Structure formats: C-alpha cells, structure tokens
Amino acid sequence: MISADLFSNAIVAGILLGGFYAAVAIGLAIVFGQLDIVNIAHPAFIIVGAYIAYILNSRFGLDPILIGLLAAPVFFFVGALIYRVYFLAFERTGQESLSGLAFFFGVMFIIEVVLILIYGFDYRLVQADYIGQSWRIGFVDFPLRMLVPFAVAAALTAAIYLFMSRTFMGRAIQAVAQDRLALQLMGADPVRIKQWAFGLGIATTAIAGALLIIIGPVEPSVGRLYIGRAFAIVVLGGMGSIKGMFIAALILGVVESMVSTFAGPSWSPAVAFGFLGLTLALRPAGLFGRR
Amino acid sequence: MSARVLEVSGLTKRFGGFVALNNVDVHVAPGERLGLIGPNGSGKTTLINCVSGALFNDEGSIRFDGQDITRMLPHKRARLGVARSFQIPKPFKSMTVLENLRVPLEYAAWSRAEHRHINDEAMALLESIGLKHCAHQNSAGLTQVDMRKLELARALAAKPRLLVSDEAMAGLSSAEVDEILEILLALNARGVAVIMIEHIMRAVMRFSQRVVVLDAGEKIAEGTPDEIVKNPDVERAYLGE
Amino acid sequence: MKSAAFWGVLAAIFAGGLVLTTVVENEYYYNAFYLILQATLMAVAWNILGGFTGYVNFGSAAFFAMGAYTTVALNKALALPLPLLILAGGAVGGLVGFGLGYLTLRLKGVYFAIATLAMAIVIETFIANWPYVGGARGSYMLTPEKHLWFDSYIQMLFMVMLLLTLTAVVISRVLNSSRLGRGLAAIRDDEVAAESAGVPTLRLKLVSTTVMGAMMGVAGAPFPYFVTFVDPVSAFNLFIAVNAIAMPMIGGTGHWIGPVIGALLVGTTQEIVKVTVSSELNVLIVGVMLVVFITLAPQGIVGLVQKHWKRKQ
C-alpha cells in the first residue's frame, strides 16, 4: 500500500529536484542544444562552482547563492576563453567530433584531479540559515534546502529564456544555431556570438554549483553522475528549446524521485540514462525539438 | 517473373505530417536510361534514398530484378547491384582516391570482383573515368569535378546492375558536364541501367530514353524526353501558373 | 613497416624482456613495466573501436574491471592457472563488448560516448553490490607460489603482459591493413557512404566492440595478482579510462603504431613523475598531455611525422 503521504512527498521532492536539474542543464541547453558543442565537462564546471561557494562560504560566511552570482561573470570570461581555444583548435579545421569530445573529456579529468589534489575526497558543505529548515503544508514537506534552489533555478531559466527571446544577443545566438550564413550577411560575427553563448553557458555553472552544494555535500567525483542527467534533459527537452528543457528537467526529477523512493536510491542515476536511451530510440527530436 | 531491373510500386514516404512521396510508381528496364526530374523538393532524392535503402518507405514495395528489397538493409542492396552516388560527395577522407575504390570493390562487388587483383581493378576504373592522375592523392583535396567523378567511380566500383546518379553535374562547366555524360553513357553501353537525377536539361534530354517527372511527391508525367518537354503539366510544375 | 622488420622487432623485444629478467633483480622495474605494458594493451584495444572505427568509448575501465573481476570470481570458485584466467577475462570482456555494440547499434557520436559512460557506471554499481567478489569493500588475492623459472612472480607477470601486449599489437596491425580494417575505416570516415558501398556497418561495428572488449578484458585478468587487493574504486578507475583514450590520441589514432607510441610516451612520463615528483601529480599528467596534444596536434605524433615526410617530398 502506497500511502498518499509518501507519494505526495516523493512528487514534491521530485519537482523541487527537477527545478535544480534545470539549473544544471540550462548551460548545456545553450552550448550543446543550440551550438552542438559537446561540452562533456559541463558538470565538472558545476563542481568547481560548488567548491568556490564552499571556499567563500566557509571563509567569509557569504550566502552561497550570492557567491554564485558574483562568480558568474568570472566563469563567463573563463568560458569565453575556453571557447576561443576550442574554436581555434577544432571548429576552424572541422575536427569537431572526436577531437572536440576528447578535449572536453581531458578538461573534465583535469578539473576533477586538481580538485582531488587540493581538497581530497572529503565531502564539503556550506552553511546557511535556511539549509536546516523546512516548511510544511498538510503532510507534505518543503525542505528549504531544496525549495530555495528551485526558486533560483526557475528564476535563472526565466531570465535566460527572456534573454534568448527578447535581446539582440539572445536572438543572434539562436540565429547562429540555425543559419550561420544569414547571420554573417547581416553583419554579425558568428564566432563572437558563439563565444558569448559558451561564456553564458559556463556562467550558469557558477550558480548551479552554488545550488548543488546547498542541496547536499559535494566531493570531486560527484560531477560524473550529472553528465547523463544534463545530456538527457537537453535531448529530451528538444535540442534548442529552453521551455522544453525545463519541463524535461521536472519530468526527470519526478521520475528519479519516485524511483528513488520506491525502488531505492542506487537506481536513480540509471533513470537519466534510461530516459536518454528511450528518447533517442523513440523521438530523437525530444518534446519541443526544432529538428 | 519480372523483366524489369527495378519496380517501385505505390511508394509512400512521410516525415511526420509531411508527405514526401505519395503513391509513386517507377519502373526501369534492364540497361535502360531513365531521367528523373522535378522542381526542388519534389521528392527525387527521397525516392532514391528509399531505393538505395538509406530510408525505409512507409507504404509500397520495391523490387529489384524481381526480388523484394523493400525492407532490405542498404549494404545488402549494394551487394545485389544497386549503386548510388550522393548529391553532396561523401568521400572517405582519410583514404586516397584509389583506396576509396577498394571499399566498394571489396564489399559491394566482393562476389563479382577478382580478389587478388583489387588494386588493378581499381586502377583500371580510375583510368576509364579520368582520375588516374590523382590515384594516390588524398580524396579530401580534390577539385569539384574530380570529386564528382570519384563519387561516380565509387558507385561504379560496386559493379551494379542499376546506378542512380544524384545530380552529379550540378555546378559544373559545360565541358565538365559532357565528361560526366560520356562516363555514364559508356557505363550504360556495358548494360548497366542508369537513373539520372539532374536539373541540367540538355544532359537529361541527351541521356534519357524515358523521363519521369515528380512534383510535390507525386508523379505527374512520364514519357520520352520530347513528350515531356511538350507536356503542359510539366511546364506548370516548373514555371508555375 | 615491412613484415620481416616488424616480426624481427617483436622477436627482439620479447627476447629483450627475457634477458632483462635474468639480469635485473629490482622488482620496481617490473612493476613499472607491467603498468606501462598494461596501458599499452588498453590503448591498442581502445584504438580498434576509437581510432579505426571512429566510435569513442569513455567506459574502458568497465571492460578492464570485468576481466579483473572474472579472475576474482573464478579464483574463488576454482583454482585456475593464469592462462585460463586470461582466456576467461577475454571472453567476458568480449561478451560485454558485444552487448555494448548490440545495445548501441543506432547511436552515433556523443550519444554513443555517453552510452559507454552509462554502461560503465551501471556495471560498476552491479559489481559494488555483489558480495561474492567482495562488493564495495574489495577482495584480497594471494600471490601464487609458482612462477615458473623466473626469480619472482612479478617477473613472470611482466613477461605475461609483454606477450599479451605484443599479441595485441600484431592483431591491431593485421586489422589495420586488412579488408576488415578498410571496412572499419570506411565506417569511421562516412558511415552512410560505407553502407551504400556494401559495408555491413552493424556487423563490423559489433566485431570492433567485441575485439576491443576482449582485449581489455585480457588486460584486466592478471590485474588482481598484480595489485593483490581489488575493489571497485581501483578497478573502475577513471584514470584507466582517460589513459585508454589519451594514449592513442596523443600517439595518433589512424595507425596501429599510434597507441603504442602514445602509451610509451605517456606511461614513461607518468612513471618518472611518480618517482621524482609525486604520485598524485602523475595522474594529472595524462589529462594535461591529452588537452595539449589534442589542441596542437590533433592527428597525434604519427600525424606530425606524416606531415613532416610530406613536406620533405
């Protein structure tokens, strides 16, 4: 007998988790979904963001979300720089597929090893007032350490959605994804735009990392669990669609939560890969895909 | 028992809600030269993809030399003798021109090739097509016309009974068009049936014994080149009302 | 490389190994050589699917670990001699490779790569939850008494791994210049064009994944005797997976000798750093080398050499 109590808590936990997953995937939705750059190191950057939140939080007591917002511009520049290297080495010569993949795999590995060298395998966490608290409506719990990240993630998604649809740069990014030549004829530089987009994608990882370490403790190899989730969400949502990505993230969160509650937590990483597999097999364009 | 080398009946192919081909019938006799024309987007390449097996049709059947190949994988069709060239050339970029020809000789034509003398066969093919001078050159650095010739050479190396040439002449100069035309005519003289998809009308007129016209996924006309030229439906399809 | 020269060099290397075991006593060298040879074998195996066929495998550690854990499991049930364990490890690795190929038939590019990562995580989870082989806590393996005529067990392991690696290199070279290898190259260069040229792409991809899996399983089979303690963390280590990718890419993926060059270069550098600087930093080396080489020399060392020769002409 599945109690209504357990069931509704699992659903709510899933939705909150899903919101956080949107923050994880949104950068990849831009970089991979629209620009087709296979940044497999995307979750590794999120872990870096988490560690930065940990450092500044334990040192200065700053709120992790604030740290994430402050770190975002720095991450933006790092992202732009990495794209420059990627473009010069791979995109310009048309070598993207194998070499580009291996490049980001190497970057991911370097990030993980450096973190291990500096911080070891111990779990790190942050302190904030709201982390221990929880709201209760009826028999459903809303732990703040999940609710706050959900709110931030939703705001981030909305902000980026508006950016993509209302600003010149945002629409240029969508344009360069669909038709480079037309963009060039209009006088815009595709490389600069892609650089902007990649930087934006990495900037989101600063915030996602802060959210991650609010939700739970972090150690260097945690990032690998998110590779499957991030790609699954982007593909399921439909490669170019921010809206689709958010919905896919919620779906994944809910399904993972249900599986975790009723079948056991060790099965939840498998859920994402299962979704990815099913989507690719049945409907490769995803829910809202443009292709 | 069919005397036809290719028999396409009632072929329908949809992409989601879009009907790319609607109930199309096409047949080719052994050794025949068929022209396939139609405005852009009329479904010519889709038809060819279904015949070669790159796509599977939703309805209808495809018979090759009397055998039903409707659900057969592309490589098996290639082995039976269905060859096609690609509109945008797809050379094996890590290989030389000669090595590019080894692949179809060693696979599609394996039952029909001289196993011990593959290189000689490839060389002979290159000579007949005018590519001998770049046999050992990497296939990624060829000129446009040589790239098209390599595309055709690879299809020829499969020793087909039916060759589909998908816009092999697009963007070439008049002299280059004639070169390709000679290659196809010589091939046909050896008994290979050829379906030519082209927009260059003088080539289609000179080459084809019979022409099929597609428009918006439907066959709108069929006949000799002269008949097609005078057909008002064809004129309307190309020029509009 | 001409056939006679090739076999000559292999025979010389094997003979050299034998001579070494009679001359050098210090076990450190055999440990180091074993690891470098193991990495070479893994690199050669990876390159069959990655370099020859163009499908990037991120989960190499899973095949390796399956070989290691087959040894652990069989060793508990029966006391089998090493050659049989190696065959068993290869068979299991090959089976997993076949399964991977079958399940991922339609996936291309990054999706295939992610699928290999998923498979590695799934297999690691199963092993970690299997108490018979020690689960997450790991399993101890006693070093056997017998080591033939060699001075010590590690010397014998070294010669075994040398033989296995040389065999793998032979297989790789044969593949590279065979009809099968040309079919794989066609798949790598343009899968659609390959299919329409008569190449049975699905079948060849299955062959490729199975051979790669079998070779990696073979590489892992003696591992438990080498380390004497096996647990999921050490067996499924990302380091093994990164090495397996980095070494062929640094050496050059199109040619059979690329992974060998890459493995020797990277493996030796790692050993030197491990001994002179620190053992943690040596892990970082391969990641940095991978990124640097891939950015500056995407065709690897073999590519650089080939470009140099062409410029001379």
- Residue holding tokens 């520049």? A77
* CA-based nearest residue in chain B for residue C53: B94
* Whether the predicted interface score ipTM is above 0.95: no
**Residue type present at position A281:** A
Q: List Cβ neighbours of C286 (8 Å cut-off, separation of 6 or more).
A: A109, C239, C242, C243, C246, C247, C266, C270
Structure-block tokens of residue C8: 């000559």
pLDDT tier for residue B144 given thresholds of 50, 70 and 90: confident
Of A90, A101, A273, the CB nearest to C56: A101
> Quick check: A289 pLDDT over 70?
no
The three-point CA angle B37-B40-B42 to 5° equals: 65
Please indicate whether residue C127 or residue C183 has the higher confidence score (pLDDT). C183
Q: Quote the DSSP letter at residue C144.
A: P
In this structure, what are the phi and psi dihedrals at residue B18, rounded to the nearest 5 degrees? -90, 125
- Separation of alpha carbons A1 and A4, rounded Å: 9
Nearest chain C CA: its distance from A210 CA (Å): 25
Question: Which residue in chain B has the smallest CA separation from C54?
Answer: B94
> From the candidates B69, B106, B152, which should be mutated to test the interface with C, based on the most C CB atoms within 10 A?
B106
Question: Contact C171/C211 with Cβ under 8 angstroms?
Answer: yes
Q: Is the pLDDT of residue C131 over 50?
A: yes
The amino acid present at C240, given as its one-letter code, is: I
pLDDT band at A94 (very low <50, low <70, confident <90, very high): low
- Considering only CB atoms, A102 lies closest to which of C54, C109, C249, namely C249
Residue among C202, C231, C213, C221 nearest C93 (CA): C213
- Between residues B227 and A275, which one has the greater pLDDT? B227
CA distances from A253 to A161, C125, C166 (A): 20, 21, 49
Q: What is the pLDDT of residue A290?
A: 53
d(CA B25, CA B4): 13
CA torsion angle A209 A214 A215 A216 (round to 10): 90
How does pLDDT run across B201-216, given as a tens digit for each residue? 889 999 999 999 999 9
Best CA proximity match to B13, nearest among B5, B3, B23, B4 = B23
| Residue keyed to tokens 């690719």 | A280
pLDDT on residue C165: 95
Phi/psi of residue C177, each to 5°? -110, 25
Structure-derived torsion over alpha carbons of residues C60, C64, C65, C67, reported in degrees to the nearest 10: 150
Closest CB to C291: pick one of A110, A221, A231: A110
Q: What is the pLDDT of residues A153-174, one digit of tens each?
A: 999 999 999 999 898 888 888 8
Mean pLDDT over B180-208 rounds to 91
Angle at the Cα of C287 from the Cα atoms of C285 and C288, rounded to 5 degrees: 65
Partner-chain contact C190 B90, CB within 8 Å: yes
Neighbours of chain B (3+ CB pairs under 8 A): C
Report pLDDT for A98: 75
- Residue C43's contacts (CB-CB under 8 Å, 6 or more residues apart) are C243, C244, C247, C248, C251, C259, C260, C262, C263
What tens digit of pLDDT does each residue of C182-201 get?
999 999 999 999 999 999 99
* Residues of chain A neighbouring C246 (CB-CB closer than 8 A): 102, 106
User: The tokens of A110 are what?
Assistant: 């370097």
> pLDDT class for B97, splitting at 50, 70, 90?
very high
Chain C, residues 69-108, CB within 8 A of chain A, namely 106-107
CB < 8 Å to A95, chain C: 298
When pLDDT is averaged across residues C21-29 and rounded to a whole number, the result is: 84
Buried/exposed B168-205: b ≥16 CB within 10 Å, e otherwise: bbeebeeebbebbbebbeebbeeebbbbbbbebeebbb
**pLDDT at C112 exceeding the cut of 50:** yes
Interchain contact, C110 vs A101, CB within 8 Å: yes
**CA gap C222, C225 in Å, rounded:** 6
Torsion angle (degrees, nearest 10) of CA A89, A90, A93, A94? 180
Nearest CB to C198 within list B54, B94, B107: B107
C186 min Cα distance to partner chain B (Å): 6
CA A82 to chain centre: 18
Tell me which H or E stretch contains C23: helix C3-23
How is residue A200 written in tokens?
């934006």
Residues C122 and C266: their CA atoms lie apart, in Å, by 29
Q: How far is C134 from chain A (nearest CA, A)?
A: 18
Residue A247 CA: distances (Å) to CA of A7, A131, A237, C33: 20, 26, 7, 52
Tokens for C195, please give them. 């299919």
d(CA C189, CA C175): 16
Q: What's the longest Cα–Cα distance across chain A?
A: 64
The answer to whether C197 contacts B91, with C-beta atoms less than 8 Å apart, is: no
pTM here? 0.87
Q: Determine how β-strand B162-166 pairs with β-strand B82-84.
A: parallel
| Closest to C107 in 3D by CA, of A277, A236, A36 | A277
Chain A hits for C262, CB-CB cut-off 8 Å, are: none
Max avg pLDDT among A201-210, B231-240, C67-76, C106-115: A201-210
Q: What is the DSSP string of chain B?
A: ----SEEEEEEEEEETTEEEEEEEEEEE-TT-EEEEE-STTSSHHHHHHHHHTSS--SEEEEEETTEE-TT--HHHHHHHTEEE--SS----TTSBHHHHHHHHHHTTTTTTS-GGGHHHHHHHHHHHHT-GGGTTSBGGG--HHHHHHHHHHHHHHT--SEEEEESTTTT--HHHHHHHHHHHHHHHHTT-EEEEE-S-HHHHHHH-SEEEEEETTEEEEEE-HHHHHH-HHHHHHHH--
- Reference C185, options B100, A281, A125; nearest CA is B100
* CB spacing of A106 vs C294 below 8 angstroms: yes
Q: Is B131 in contact with B150 (CB distance < 8 Å)?
A: yes
B58 burial class (0-12, 13-18, 19+ CB within 10 angstroms)? middle
The shortest C-alpha distance from C184 to chain B (Å) reads 10
Check if the beta carbon of residue A27 is closer than 8 Å to that of residue A156: no
Is the pLDDT at C35 greater than 90? The verdict is: yes
At B133, which amino acid appears? H
pLDDT at residue A291 in the model = 44
| Chain B residues near residue C194 by CB distance under 8 angstroms | 92, 103
For residue B1, the model assigns a pLDDT of 44
pLDDT at B60 over 60: yes
Q: What is the mean pLDDT of chain B?
A: 89
Alpha-carbon dihedral angle through residues C123, C128, C130, C133, given to the nearest 10 degrees: 100
Q: Which residue has the tokens 């069929």?
A: B222
Query: How far is CA B120 from each of CA A264, B94, B126, C152, rounded to the nearest angstrom?
Result: 64, 21, 10, 55
Cβ-Cβ contacts under 8 Å, B99 against chain C: 182
Contacts of C201 in chain B (CB under 8 A): 75
How many CB atoms are closer than 10 A to CB C296? 9
Q: What is the 3-state secondary structure (H, E, C) of C119-131?
A: HHHHHHHHHHCCH
A 10 A CB-CB count for C297 gives 17
d(CA A158, CA A155) in angstroms, rounded, equals 5
List CB contacts (< 8 A) between A107 and chain C.
287, 291
Q: What percentage of chain C carries pLDDT values higher than 70?
A: 99
Q: Is the pLDDT of residue A283 over 60?
A: yes
Chain C: residue whose CA lies nearest to A109: C287
Contact C253, C294 (CB under 8 A): no
What is the band of A183 on the pLDDT scale with cuts at 50, 70, 90?
low
Q: Are the beta carbons of C213 and C64 closer than 8 angstroms?
A: no
Residues 6+ apart with CB under 8 A from C223: C38, C64, C67, C68, C71, C230, C235
Which residues of C lie inside 8 Å of B (Cβ-Cβ)? 179, 182-183, 185-186, 188-190, 192-202, 254
Q: What is the DSSP string of C52-95?
A: IS----S-HHHHHHHHHHHHHHHHHHS---HHHHHHHHHHHHHH
Rounded distance, CA A123 to CA C106, Å?
Answer: 39
Contact assignment for C294 to A89 by CB distance below 8 Å: yes
Residue B157 with chain C: CB contacts under 8 Å: 197
* Confidence class for position A181, pLDDT limits 50, 70, 90: low
